Structure 1
Amino acid sequence: MPKEQRRENYEQSLGAWRARLQATNQTRKPLIEKVTNTWREDEKFRVAEECDTKEPNFCDLDDENSFPSLSVKAIRSRRFRRMFAVLVLVSVGMYYIWTRHIRPSVQEGWELKQGFLPAQVNGTYGVAKGGHFDGVRIKDIDATYVPGGNKDPEGNRRLIFVGDIHGCKDELKHLLKKVDFNSKTDHLVATGDVVSKGPHSPGVLDLLIHYGAESVRGNHEDRLLEAAKTLSGSDNKRDDAMSTSKGYSKDAELLKELKPHHMRFLHDMPLMLRIPALPFATSSWRKDKHNIAEETIVIHAGLVPHVPLERQDPYFVMNMRSIDHKTHVPSALRETKKGNSKPWMHIWNWYNNRLAKGRSIKGFHIWSYAEWLNQRVTGSWISNSWSSMSKKQPQPQPQVAVYGHDSKMGLQMHRWSKGLDTGCASGGKLTAMVLDAKGKTEIVQVKCDSYRT
């Protein structure tokens, strides 16, 4: 081969080698540049840049199945709005019930309980200083008159309780006719204040005596008896009474109309009349608050809860209208200056309802006010308090109080107290509560004329 030919072939081969080398150098790049990240384009691995989570499509607002989209959809739904409205109404209702009913009831119960604890001044005997009571304090009703008792095995007898009559004889006769009063099977019991204000006080007394009725002593009977003592005394006492007593002149005029047998009837009125639990009656205080199955105490005005009957202050039994719920000191007023007054029957009902439910009264003390003051003076209050609490006292039984006196309160029919004064002499009504042998009660009323002067 000629030399020129060989040289030409060499140069061609060298050019081809250089071309392959140049092509090879162009294809040699860093490994990082060979990463294509094609997986980023796959839909299922897409992650929003603004969301710091690895859950697919969690914060993608454009995706209907994302959490924000589903949340907005739920909030805008009609069902959600209904549920939210119901939740708001339930919350408001629960708040209202708590603030208006549950919390006040719990707070009131706690405050009422405080009045029974030894740190308070419980009891009243000797507080009123209303004079010496010279009558019968507690009288037990004759067993003959107890409906369903040993003398009434068939349970045919009834007790007819009548509120303040105040000399309204015609209204009393009308009421007895309306209840079909039968003196052979019925016994009439008045709650006091059978005289004064009305036009026929002697006639009312004659009617009560004729039917063999009983009545507790009210403040008007007590005032008449005190006036009678004053009239039988010196002229100076009569003059003092006329100048200091508001109703003395009216009482003096009424006394002129009364005969000796009227005065004996007034004097024999007990402060309290006790009626035992009726044998045929069943305790159903949860079902019917008007039934009476427990021992009944008839008084004119009121009683202090947890104070034994023999320690009740006579003045307040005939004049009470309210009780300080912290100290349990009663008052003849409806509101006292201290502002802690509650209607006495309110605390009486609370206490007896507690007894009926079997709740403990451990720690409740029964001292009288006078005893408390005496122990406080002698310095033995703490020791006596501990001694009183440590002694095991029998659990008292609930009692029903039947009373009159407070005509402004009107008819008051509660489970443990029955108020029957409905203002007959002032143009209101004369009220009777009929109690049968099974403990059922019935209210009967007649309209009265007004005798206000």
Structure 2
Amino acid sequence: MKVFAVGDLQGCFSELEQLLEKVEFDPNQDQLWLAGDLVNRGPESLEVLRFASSMGDSVKAVLGNHDLHLLAIAFGGAKVKRSDTLEAILTAPDRDELLDWLRHRPLCHYDEKQGYVMTHAGIPPIWSVNDTLNYANEVEQVLRSRQCKAYFKAMYGNYPDIWQDDLVGFDRLRAITNYLTRMRFCTPQAQLEFASKEGLEQCPPGFAPWFDYPRQSETPIIFGHWAALEGQVDRAGVYALDTGCVWGGRLTALNLATKELISVNSLQHRHF
């Protein structure tokens, strides 16, 4: 069995088809990991969801901020933005089945046998893999419960911007969500900075990329979210797979066994 991890799709289904053909992906034998942001901004979000949800255990997907945004719209916690391309999903005849599948995806995927952990935005330096799985599970339980509507209404916001073990309620869930789906720059104590979305040259004073700090675990981390990095992270055991496909860049896969990176060019005509 081969395992491939792929960065942010954001509705770029045609590119995914090309990439899977290029790596000779066999859905009957191989496994596909998706690093979140399956939907939005691109033209084929509905096709991406239909494909991923039809693949059973062959696909392991984690939730990204755009996926959560789609769910928030569907459950009345947010309104559609001008830049969203989610209408096809929201009006699809199989909408409810697709959204239910998405709502049951995790925020963190860890495979001990493969020896990798994957979240959409990364793992803050103060958390171990076990911490991350436990905290992610707190949010996942609410997402899959009748409390999900209340969660989506409270999900948006930048505070609290630093972790404390005694956080409770929606403040705690919002902090966990922001670490796993929105994080880029932080302090050594893992205080988050949300304004800066460009590359490493735009690092705000007093902050650094989350992966620059000593980590609590040597387990290799797969993440997406940060397209401005263009996949370039000079850190051992850290794999940035969002290479900006929806913005006209590339769609990139990592072969977990060989650590080979394989890409196809975007078919989109967007720009950062």
For the criterion TM > 0.5, the same-fold answer is yes
Give unpaired runs (5+ residues) of structure 2.
137-175
CA–CA distance in 2 between the matches of 1:249 and 1:433? 28
One of 241, 246, 264 as aligned partner of 1:425: 246
Structure 2 partner of 1:340: 206
One of 54, 63, 68 as aligned partner of 1:222: 68
Please tell me whether the aligned partners of residues 46 and 88 of structure 2 are also in contact (alpha carbons under 8 angstroms): no
**Structure 1's 449 and 196: CA in aligned 2 closer, same or farther, altered over 3 A?**
same
**Structure 1's 246 and 184: CA in aligned 2 closer, same or farther, altered over 3 A?**
closer
Cα offsets for 1:33-82 (capped at 9, x unmatched): xxxxxxxxxxxxxxxxxxxxxxxxxxxxxxxxxxxxxxxxxxxxxxxxxx
CA–CA distance in 2 between the matches of 1:406 and 1:219? 12
Please tell me whether the aligned partners of residues 401 and 416 of structure 1 are also in contact (alpha carbons under 8 angstroms): yes
One of 255, 268, 271 as aligned partner of 1:434: 255
Cα offsets for 1:229-285 (capped at 9, x unmatched): 117xxxxxxxxx54xx7458654564223622211221111010011144xxxxxxx
Please tell me whether the aligned partners of residues 433 and 442 of structure 1 are also in contact (alpha carbons under 8 angstroms): yes
Structure 2 partner of 1:153: none
Matched, 1:179 2:14: no
User: Alpha carbon RMSD of aligned pairs, Å?
Assistant: 2.5
Structure 1 partner of 2:190: 328
CA–CA distance in 1 between the matches of 2:72 and 2:243? 26
**Structure 1's 337 and 306: CA in aligned 2 closer, same or farther, altered over 3 A?**
closer
One-letter identity of the residue aligned with 2:41: K
Structure 2 partner of 1:80: none
Structure 1 partner of 2:266: 448
CA–CA distance in 1 between the matches of 2:101 and 2:251? 22
CA–CA distance in 2 between the matches of 1:314 and 1:164? 17
1:2-41 equivalences under 5 Å are none
Matched, 1:409 2:253: no
Please tell me whether the aligned partners of residues 45 and 86 of structure 2 are also in contact (alpha carbons under 8 angstroms): no
After superposing on structure 2, the runs of 4+ consecutive aligned residues of structure 1 that deviate more than 6 Å are: 335-338
Please tell me whether the aligned partners of residues 196 and 204 of structure 2 are also in contact (alpha carbons under 8 angstroms): no
Post-superposition offset of 1:331: 2.6
Structure 1 partner of 2:98: 262
Please tell me whether the aligned partners of residues 121 and 181 of structure 2 are also in contact (alpha carbons under 8 angstroms): yes
Please tell me whether the aligned partners of residues 321 and 333 of structure 1 are also in contact (alpha carbons under 8 angstroms): no
The TM-score normalised by the length of structure 1 is: 0.45
The structure that has the greater radius of gyration is 1
CA–CA distance in 2 between the matches of 1:162 and 1:343? 21
Please tell me whether the aligned partners of residues 426 and 449 of structure 1 are also in contact (alpha carbons under 8 angstroms): no
CA–CA distance in 2 between the matches of 1:318 and 1:247? 21
Please tell me whether the aligned partners of residues 41 and 83 of structure 2 are also in contact (alpha carbons under 8 angstroms): no
One-letter identity of the residue aligned with 2:194: A
Post-superposition offset of 1:406: 0.5
Aligned residues: 220
Structure 1 partner of 2:42: 198
CA–CA distance in 2 between the matches of 1:160 and 1:215? 12
Please tell me whether the aligned partners of residues 316 and 332 of structure 1 are also in contact (alpha carbons under 8 angstroms): no
CA–CA distance in 2 between the matches of 1:302 and 1:341? 16
**Structure 1's 264 and 446: CA in aligned 2 closer, same or farther, altered over 3 A?**
same
Cα offsets for 1:293-326 (capped at 9, x unmatched): xx3210001211132212471222100011123x
1:25-174 equivalences under 5 Å are 157-174=1-18
Matched, 1:315 2:178: yes
Matched, 1:276 2:112: yes
Cα offsets for 1:207-250 (capped at 9, x unmatched): 2223331210000000111111117xxxxxxxxx54xx745865
Structure 2 partner of 1:296: 116
Please tell me whether the aligned partners of residues 162 and 431 of structure 1 are also in contact (alpha carbons under 8 angstroms): yes
CA–CA distance in 1 between the matches of 2:60 and 2:44? 18
Post-superposition offset of 1:411: 0.9
Greater RCO structure (CA 8 Å; 6+ sep): 2
Post-superposition offset of 1:337: 10
SS class of match (2:76): helix
Please tell me whether the aligned partners of residues 198 and 451 of structure 1 are also in contact (alpha carbons under 8 angstroms): no
Please tell me whether the aligned partners of residues 192 and 221 of structure 1 are also in contact (alpha carbons under 8 angstroms): yes
Please tell me whether the aligned partners of residues 404 and 420 of structure 1 are also in contact (alpha carbons under 8 angstroms): yes
One-letter identity of the residue aligned with 2:21: K
The TM-score normalised by the length of structure 2 is: 0.73
Q: Which has the higher helix share?
A: 1
